[in-house]
């Protein structure tokens, strides 16, 4: 699948905030430039609004309300859904394979944007990659929600106290924004749902937050970090700081001091790293990230740009530091990058990316939050309200804004939904025997032909 010989192609790899907003900015700037086409390659056909991921896990928002379809958002951009198999910077070619299709597609480009994103970093901790849940994707949030509800369902009918103890213990590792918001959402969901289970009570529930640092939410400073810790403890959450997780076998978490916690559910939010394909690229890298300059250009690779979680971009407002992997930086990097690509193609000089963080916000449970905005600190219900107001305004699409606003309004009146949304195929009579394997995610393979395309 090659570009038209009469058109120049800008190819964007990655459909997260960085990639999608770069495409959005480019299609606006190039709307009257018919000899240039923009194409975006993404694993999903939507852009996920990650700041609200824990809202899905906590049953405060519907899954489809925190995503915006790429084809609705990018009406004048080519969208290709598939997995990136290889990137050849010398030949200016990217190979993409689409799910369930035998043939791959080779895409050439004139300008390449690397917005590949990140994956969870397990730091080679034994058993974590095999058994832990993560909070990076929409599917992750649904699995966390299902597993939390499943724990209550199973524990309600479990007569063995020791087995029930493991079912009713949830461990969250990582006390940054993702971990704190996740532990608060899961804690609220499970505690508010207990009233519907006749054989369970709050004394049986144990929610644990673990981090190697000295405080939670260190990005927000000492005062807000201590406030958040105090509030989480008041809500029944057990917090272990300056503590490392040394291993997990699916049933028991082993801590650095030898302490063991029986738990059937551990959620890992302790770090991220660029996607594996980044390490295969022949370009300057630092700690696994692509090194980009202040113009978002990749060193010694003309026409190649990088931004977002996969890139290290110098922070001109904080000399010697790199831009943090936040959505507010990614979306603004996207605007600067789009402007610089167009300027470069027109023979004009690019402009440096310079942006100072406007603020940081986090929810720590029902109607409670912490926030630092323009140097001012907020906490409690005011910060929680600010979190909802700001992120609702940033949510892509008017339709999504209205849906989420309705969800939040109803949430003030009604209890949380505890319906499990299992993603399982319908079973024929012959397939009933395979149900245990399907539930375990080990369904028998479907017979079919495979073909290798040179």
Residue 24: per-residue pLDDT:
97
Question: Whose CA is closest to 330, among 303, 302, 364, 357?
Answer: 357
* Residue whose token pair is 């890298």: 285
Q: Percent of the chain beyond pLDDT 90? A: 84
Residue 82 has pLDDT above 80, yes or no: yes
Q: What is the pLDDT of residues 361-401, one digit of tens each?
A: 999 998 999 999 988 999 999 999 999 999 999 999 899 99
Residue 3: per-residue pLDDT:
56
Residue 448 has pLDDT above 90, yes or no: no
Residue 413: per-residue pLDDT:
85
Binning pLDDT at 50, 70 and 90, where does residue 452 land? very low
Question: Whose CA is closest to 187, among 174, 205, 175?
Answer: 205
Check: CB of residue 207 under 8 Å from CB of residue 236. yes
Superfamily (CATH) of domain 128-270: FAD/NAD(P)-binding domain (3.50.50.60)
Q: Which residues on adjacent β-strands are paired with residue 106?
A: 95
Check: CB of residue 264 under 8 Å from CB of residue 398. no
The two tokens of residue 186 are: 């899961």
Residue 415: per-residue pLDDT:
85
In eight-state DSSP terms, residue 317 is: T
The two tokens of residue 453 are: 């395309």
Q: What is the C-alpha separation between 79 and 19, in angstroms, rounded?
A: 11
Q: What is the pLDDT of residues 1-42, one digit of tens each?
A: 455 567 899 999 999 999 999 999 999 999 889 999 999 999
> Which of the four CATH numbers 3.40.50.2000, 3.40.50.150, 3.50.50.60, 3.40.390.30 does domain 8-43+82-120+273-345 have?
3.50.50.60
Lowest mean pLDDT among 10-24, 92-106, 134-148, 199-213: 92-106
Nearest 5°: phi and psi at 245?
A: -95, 125
Binning pLDDT at 50, 70 and 90, where does residue 437 land? low
Residue 213 has pLDDT above 80, yes or no: yes
Residue 101: per-residue pLDDT:
73
Residue 427: per-residue pLDDT:
53
Mean pLDDT of 179-186: 98
Which helix H or strand E contains 80, and what residues bound it? strand 78-81
Residue 4: per-residue pLDDT:
59
Query: Cβ atoms within 10 A of the Cβ of 17, count?
Result: 27
Q: What is the C-alpha separation between 282 and 278, in angstroms, rounded?
A: 9
Q: Where are the domains of the chain?
A: 8-43+82-120+273-345, 128-270
3-class secondary structure, 144? helix
Could you give the angle at the alpha carbon of 179 between the alpha carbons of 178 and 180, nearest 5°? 95
* Residue whose token pair is 């605007």: 335
Strands (E), 279-408: 285-286, 289-291, 304-306, 311-312, 359-365, 368-373, 376-380
Same fold, 8-43+82-120+273-345 and 128-270: yes
Q: What is the pLDDT of residues 151-169, one digit of tens each?
A: 999 999 999 999 999 999 9
């Amino acid at each position: 699948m090659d570009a038209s010989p009469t058109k120049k192609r800008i190819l964007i790899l990655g459909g997260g905030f960085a990639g999608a907003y770069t495409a959005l900015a480019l299609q606006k700037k190039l709307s009257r430039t018919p000899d240039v086409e923009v194409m975006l390659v993404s694993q999903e056909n939507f852009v996920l609004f990650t700041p609200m991921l824990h809202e899905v896990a906590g049953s405060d928002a519907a899954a489809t309300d925190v995503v915006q379809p790429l084809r609705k958002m990018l009406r004048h951009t080519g969208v290709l859904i598939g997995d990136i198999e290889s990137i050849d910077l010398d030949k200016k070619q990217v190979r993409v394979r689409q799910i369930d299709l035998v043939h791959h597609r080779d895409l050439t480009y004139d300008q390449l944007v690397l917005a590949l994103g990140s994956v969870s970093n397990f730091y080679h901790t034994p058993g974590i990659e095999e058994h832990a849940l993560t909070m990076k994707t929409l599917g992750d949030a649904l699995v966390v929600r299902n597993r939390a509800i499943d724990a209550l369902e199973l524990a309600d009918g479990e007569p063995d106290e020791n087995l029930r103890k493991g079912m009713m213990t949830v461990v969250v590792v990582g006390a940054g924004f993702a971990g704190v918001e996740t532990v608060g959402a899961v804690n609220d969901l499970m505690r508010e749902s207990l009233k519907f289970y006749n054989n369970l009570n709050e004394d049986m529930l144990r929610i644990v937050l673990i981090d190697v640092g000295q405080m939670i939410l260190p990005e927000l400073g000492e005062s807000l970090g201590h406030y958040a810790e105090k509030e989480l403890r008041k809500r029944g959450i057990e917090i272990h700081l300056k503590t490392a997780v040394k291993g997990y076998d699916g049933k028991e978490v082993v801590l650095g001091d030898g302490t063991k916690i029986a738990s059937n559910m551990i959620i890992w939010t302790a770090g991220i790293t660029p996607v594996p394909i980044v390490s295969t690229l022949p370009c300057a890298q630092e700690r696994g990230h692509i090194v980009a300059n202040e113009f978002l250009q990749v060193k010694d690779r003309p026409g190649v740009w990088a931004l977002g979680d996969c890139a290290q971009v110098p922070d001109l407002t904080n000399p010697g530091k790199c831009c943090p992997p936040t959505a507010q930086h990614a979306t603004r990097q996207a605007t600067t990058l789009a402007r610089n690509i167009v300027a470069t193609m027109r023979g004009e000089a690019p402009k440096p990316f310079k942006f100072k963080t406007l603020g940081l916000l986090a929810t720590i449970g029902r109607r409670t939050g912490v926030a630092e905005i323009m140097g001012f600190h907020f906490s409690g219900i005011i910060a929680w309200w600010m979190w909802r107001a700001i992120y609702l305004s940033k949510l892509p699409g008017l339709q999504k804004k209205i849906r989420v606003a309705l969800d939040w309004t109803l949430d003030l009146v009604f209890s949380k939904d505890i319906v499990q949304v299992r993603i399982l195929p319908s079973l024929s009579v012959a397939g009933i025997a395979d149900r245990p394997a399907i539930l375990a995610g080990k369904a028998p393979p479907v017979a079919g032909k495979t073909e290798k395309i040179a």
